[in-house]
Chains A and B, each alone.
Chain A
Amino acid sequence: MQDESWYLHIEDDSIEQGDLFLNVQIVLPRYSSRERNHYELNADSFFCNIIILTQTCDIAQAKVDTILACPHQPIAQNDGKYFIDEVKTGKRLRYLWLKGLNDDKANMTDRLVDLSRVFLLPKNYILDLAIEQKNRLRLRSPFREHFSHSFAHFISRVALP
């Protein structure tokens, strides 16, 4: 049986860093090719799963009106055991491994978080999702801190073009 201590079951509409949401609509602006200093603005929309990156205190104290989030998805069979082991041991800074959960309230397989992709979402939209998606999962401490530190580590890594 998998260890459930990684997560809390959330049934209220609170939002904290480390909250997992499913089937979130992301809208990215798309600009047409530049013509006479003019862009035609359109957008692409898709659905993915996200984990909240914005600090809990910034959300609770209403210091932000937008929420940062990274996508997460189940580990695929073809991702390879060697690759996953490297992610688990911190050798793949771009990704974070999240342990799955299987209990009477949730059945979630192991996940990968892509720390190189960050979406900015309206806080009101996430609030609506929190009301809509009951029985959500929230990373417990210290796994939540490990998640935010992993993002900071990835974004501040020393790298060359």
Chain B
Amino acid sequence: MNIRSTIHDEDLYMGGSEFFSSISLYNQNEDKINSSNDEIIYENFMLRLQICNLNEEIALLKGQRNDVETSSLDDYDDEKYCIPTEPHARRQVKLKVTHLGNWEFPIILDEE
């Protein structure tokens, strides 16, 4: 399945699971669309996006393919927005871990 997905800024939810359908799908190869895929699930530590009703979006796209500007994909930074290019993909995110050594908690003396 060769579908690229774009989520608008206002549709990006942090720290929860939200349902929304206002996504734009760019079909690069319509013949390979597998309409049995209902959802794209992406999990990223504290970030979870759940996109439902993909079939409806695909059907919508099929009827509006001429309106889709696939050229905009070249400018879209999937990596920055953490959007998987494959449905059902679970992306591994590399974290930059800063090692701070040993730690002790500060004592609060002036607390009432």
Q: Which residues of A contact B (CB under 8 A)?
A: 23, 26-27, 29-30, 36-39, 41-48, 71, 73, 76, 79-80, 83, 92, 94-95, 112, 114, 117
Bound: A120/B80 CA distance, A? 28
Interface class of chain A by DSSP: strand
Is A83 a contact of B12 with CB atoms below 8 Å?
no
Q: Is B31 an interface residue (CB 8 A)?
A: no
* Extra contacts besides A47-B103, A71-B104 (18): CB < 8 Å: A23-B102, A38-B80, A38-B81, A39-B14, A41-B44, A41-B47, A41-B93, A42-B95, A42-B98, A43-B96, A43-B98, A45-B100, A46-B103, A47-B102, A73-B105, A94-B108, A95-B107, A112-B107
**For B96, what are the chain A residues with a Cβ–Cβ distance below 8 Å?**
42-43
A27 partner, pick from B93, B97, B104, B107, beta carbons under 8 A: B97
Q: A37-B9, A38-B12, A41-B46 are in contact. Are A47 and B108 (CB under 8 A)?
A: no
The total of interchain contacts (Cβ-Cβ below 8 angstroms) comes to 67
20 contacts between A and B (CB under 8 A): A23-B102, A29-B45, A36-B9, A41-B93, A43-B97, A45-B97, A45-B99, A45-B100, A46-B99, A47-B101, A47-B102, A48-B103, A48-B105, A71-B103, A71-B104, A71-B105, A76-B107, A80-B109, A92-B111, A114-B105
Q: Give the residues in chain B near A43, CB-CB below 8 Å.
A: 95-98
Asked if B45 and A44 make an inter-chain contact with CB atoms under 8 angstroms apart, the answer reads no
Contacts of B45 in A (CB 8 A): 29, 41
Q: Give the bracket for the number of chain B residues in contact with chain A.
A: 20 to 34
Q: Which residue of A lies closest to B95 (CB)?
A: A43
Q: Which residue of B lies closest to A42 (CB)?
A: B96
Residues of B within 8 A of A (CB): 9-10, 12, 14, 44-47, 80-82, 93, 95-105, 107-109, 111
Residues of the B chain whose Cβ atoms lie less than 8 Å from the Cβ of A44: 97-98, 100
Of B46, B100, B107, the residue contacting A29 (CB under 8 A) is B46
